[in-house]
Amino acid sequence: MTANGALTAVVADDEQLARDELCFLLGQLDGVEVVGQAANGVEALDEIARHTPDVAFLDVQMPGLTGFEVARRLMEAGTGPSVIFVTAFDQRAIEAFEVNAVDYVLKPVDSARLVTAVTRARKRIGEHAPLQGQLDRLVKMMAGQQNRRDQVAVKINDRFVLVKADDIIHASLVEDSINIVTNQVSGTSNDRTLEELHARLDPEVFWRVHRSHLVNINKVKEIVPWFSRNYILRMTDQKATEIPVSRSQTRRLREYLKL
């Protein structure tokens, strides 16, 4: 806080207009002083380190580092401001914020909701009651939701076809390309690695059963015993593609399917 008791704040948002609007609204409040601004997550960390503000307003979706990733780094450092997320997320995501008792404001920012969030931040600071546990749960929950996609672009010749993620049967690394197969189409992904593709899909549905193969566990037709107590997965695509299961994933498969 400043000498006159005002809360100091850093505002981070990659959209200039949104950042200006939030700074303007904060400037209308008594007892709040914006001491720094950032256009991305990396700049946000720099500004927070430079000014050690009482509160940081973090846009959830920023380049470089997301608001969640900035919050995680602050938690890992063990110090940092109270965090208020600024988000355009849907209702399901908002419920996750509320369940975890973490403050947020929705875009476009409502001045009355902003007053409530600032008041709560001031109270937490006065009580020395950080929300680290709640933040940690929220970051883990929402980071996954943020990255997932309901559709994936598959390149076929010189065009891209959007397929539903749930329709993907398997994806395999073949030489330097990632091949994606559904019952309707087969093509390549623009992702550079299977890790990148996997990060955008539901990990409960899509399993990395082998370093070169990602499968939709709901699209397995048969499980064929293989040598050394391993298995081959025969998939539901038209070619009934056979996917090997690595030793490290065999145990998970046995437990999941009660084999």
Q: Has residue 107 got a pLDDT over 90? A: no
Q: Are 69 and 41 in contact (CB under 8 A)?
A: yes
Question: Two tokens at 246?
Answer: 């690595």
Q: Has residue 29 got a pLDDT over 60? A: yes
Three-state DSSP state, 31: coil
Q: Has residue 235 got a pLDDT over 90? A: yes
Instruction: Tell me the pLDDT tens digit for each residue of 33-61.
Output: 999 999 999 999 999 999 999 999 999 88
Q: Are 214 and 194 in contact (CB under 8 A)?
A: yes
CA distance 35 to 57: 12
Nearest of 2, 11, 3, 45 to residue 114 by alpha carbon = 11
Band of pLDDT at residue 193, cut at 50, 70 and 90: confident
Dihedral sign of CA atoms 198, 204, 206, 212 in order: positive
State if pTM tops 0.95.
Answer: no
Q: What domains are defined for the chain?
A: 7-147 (3.40.50.2300), 151-257 (2.40.50.1020)
Q: Has residue 199 got a pLDDT over 90? A: no
Instruction: Tell me the pLDDT tens digit for each residue of 60-95.
Output: 888 778 888 888 788 777 667 888 988 876 555 565
Max avg pLDDT among 105-114, 115-124, 161-170, 190-199: 161-170
